Copies of this chain bind each other. A is one copy, B any other.
Amino acid sequence: MENRNTVQRQLILETMQTMDHPDAESVYNEVVRIHPYISKATVYRNLNLLARKGQIAKVCTSEGADKFDFRTDKHYHMRCRNCGKIFDAPLPPAEDLLEKMGDTNGFCIENFMIEFVGLCADCKK
């Protein structure tokens, strides 16, 4: 299970560094301009692989296509219910939430996410 260094994978990773919470489709649209014969399946496969490797993060929101994030540190997001765009939430890491939890009846928490939903500045107009 060695990963090889393909031009497609490299390109997708580089492109991710320049984009703000894109979905797979947007990454494809960007990347296809440089590598015209790349397929969408390759983009999906590589975004997922890079996320598994920890080089980017997958942001599963509660509505719309999954987004990808070049930031891999713990933080939270705001999602515009109108245009679907994702923004970073200005909230410091809230690990203390876990301490406030009571008895989880044997449920073992590994991770948590906070999603703020509302209207972004543009859509508010």
- A interface list, Cβ under 8 A from B: 60-63, 78, 80-81, 87, 89-92, 94, 97, 100-121, 124
Contacts and interface: CB of A to CB of B under 8 A. Distances in A.
A89 B101 contact: yes
A44 B100 CA distance: 35
Given A94-B97, A101-B89, A116 B106 contact: no
Given A107-B78, A108-B118, A118-B110, A90 B101 contact: yes
Contacts of A108: 118-120, 124
A116 B111 contact: yes
A101 B89 CA distance: 7
A65 B108 CA distance: 22
Contacts of A103: 90
Nearest to A59: B62
B113 A62 contact: yes
Contacts of A118: 107-111
Nearest to A87: B107
B91 A120 contact: no
B114 A114 contact: yes
B100 A91 contact: yes
